[in-house]
A = this chain, B = another copy of it.
C-alpha cells in the first residue's frame, strides 16, 4: 500500500509549478534541480501530465511548463490518478471494466471494505488542491521554515 515515486514526484513537480506560476514557463531542469529529481525520469512523468492536459508546454528558449489551470482547480487526486492509475486498493472497485471481471461482485462481503477504503482515499485527495499547498508553503515560510525543498518561492 505504498505510492510509487511517480505519484510523489508528480505532486512535487506540480507543486513547484504552482509556486512559480506567473514567472512564465518553468523549464524541466529547474523543477528537477529544486525538487532533486532525476531530470530524465521526470521528463517521462511530465509527458503523461501533459497528455492528460494538466500542464501546457512551451518549446524553445525560455520555454518550459505551465499549469494548464489555476492551482485551485487542480487536485492532488487529479495528479496521482494520471501517474498511478485509478486510486483503488483492489481492481474490483476501480472501474466498471474491472468490476465486471469479478463474478461475485454483488454478494462479496469483503469488497465493501475496499470500496470504503477507496472512497475515503479519493475524498482526501480530491479535496486538496495545489492552491492549498501553495498557501501552506507561504505560511510555513513566514513562520520561519528554513530548509524545505518544498517551497522555494
Contacts and interface: CB of A to CB of B under 8 A. Distances in A.
B108 A150 contact: yes
A89 interface: yes
Taken together, the copies of this chain in the complex come to: 2
Chain A interface, >50% SS class: helix
Given A1-B87, A90-B3, A136-B109, A148 B104 contact: yes
A140 interface: yes
A127 B26 CA distance: 45
B109 A150 contact: yes
**Residue of A2, A12, A106 contacting most chain B CB atoms (<10 Å):** A2
B150 A8 contact: no
A1 B88 contact: yes
Nearest to A86: B1
A110 interface: yes
Contacts of A107: 140, 145-148, 150-151
A125 interface: yes
A121 B121 CA distance: 7
Contacts of A103: 147
Q: Which 10 A-B pairs have the closest CB atoms?
A: A107-B148, A107-B145, A3-B89, A120-B120, A109-B150, A109-B136, A109-B137, A120-B124, A116-B124, A108-B150
Interface of A: 1-3, 7-8, 11-12, 15, 76, 80, 84, 87-91, 103-104, 106-110, 112-114, 116-117, 120-121, 123-125, 128, 133, 136-137, 140, 145-151
